Amino acid sequence: MPAIEFTALPLPHYIRAGYSLAGPGRKHPERCAIGEFDLLVVAQGCLYIGEEDRQYEVAEGHALILRPDLHHYPTAGCTERTASYWLHFHTAGSWRLTDDDGEEAAGGADDAPAPGRTFRMQTFRIRVPQFSRLVQPAKMYEVLRQLVALERDSHLHWVRWEQQLLFQQVLMMLAAGADARSPRPGAVVADQAASYLRKHYRERLTAKNLGEALNFHPVYIARCMKRQFGCSPMEYLLQYRLDQAKLLLLQTDLPVGRIAQDVGFRQAAYFTACFARNEGVTPREYRRRFLQNPGAAGLDPIPTTTGGGN
């Protein structure tokens, strides 16, 4: 499978990101030479995409980078509810497409040094697979979630800086997959815990339940998740439940009490309190704020993003 190799410095830079949902039959939009790299990470379901003469089935836990200089298009509609992150980025430096052995393939930009420079920058290569299965999918989802959450304040310089740092984490995780490096045992446990919490978030969960399901002591799981995600298992679960609640608030007309139950809260008042503490507005205010936001063609983006999406 080809890889995309960037020459740094300068580093590839972040442009924008979003989170999209597609129901059965929806398709990825067709575009031609958009001038930006387009990273797609599927968290649920499958996207069916072509790029020139190559076709991809981007299933849950997989990532695909669409090139900025080629035609990409849908090859089929989604067969199930499909959730994906999209991220646009660019590079002012050179890049090229390489084959499995690292030899240059067709396309890409040249690697000539910029004219008129007195001193040559110390460069290095960033090699990421164009299509890959994620080594640590839950960690990738979490970093992308943080990127999307920052979009509403992306007019602030410090936020753009933080987004660039998070984007570099995304590149490092993709590069780790290309290098086939095995994650640390603690990282594997954290990823398993995150996957279990995401799968069972509607249920009543405790640290003891999680420990029994994974066959590890709850304290060890908590330590692994703190190191991997910067939060405890229950904090991770709360954030995921709130993210799912936001989707339901924006894409259904279900009452707030019903949404609270559907995402795992036993009491609507506690859900409202948690939501307001996290978002700064109540669930009803959040719904009203974005009620008039239209969905993008093909997919319905979460309205914390700016600009176009996939």
Model confidence at 110, pLDDT cuts 50, 70, 90, reads very low
Residue 112 has pLDDT above 50, yes or no: no
Per-residue pLDDT of 182-217, as tens digits, reads 556 788 899 899 999 999 999 999 999 999 999 999
- For the chain, where do the domains classified as CATH 2.60.120.280 start and end? 3-108+121-181
Give percent of the chain above pLDDT 90: 68
CATH T-level topology, domain 3-108+121-181: Jelly Rolls (2.60.120)
If one compares 1 and 114, the residue with the highest pLDDT of the two is 1
Does residue 167 register a pLDDT over 60?
Answer: yes
Strands in 54-59's sheet, in edge-to-edge order, are 31-32, 71-74, 46-51, 54-59
Whether the pLDDT of residue 131 is over 80: the answer is: yes
CB distance 174 to 132 below 8 Å: yes
Contact 26, 78 (CB under 8 A): yes
Q: Which CATH class is domain 185-289?
A: mainly alpha
Q: Write out the residue limits of the CATH 1.10.10.60 domain(s) in the chain.
A: 185-289
Query: Which tens digit of pLDDT belongs to each residue from 40-87?
Result: 999 999 999 999 999 999 999 999 999 999 999 999 999 999 999 999
**Each residue of 227-243: pLDDT tens digit?**
888 899 999 999 999 99
CA 89 to chain centre: 13
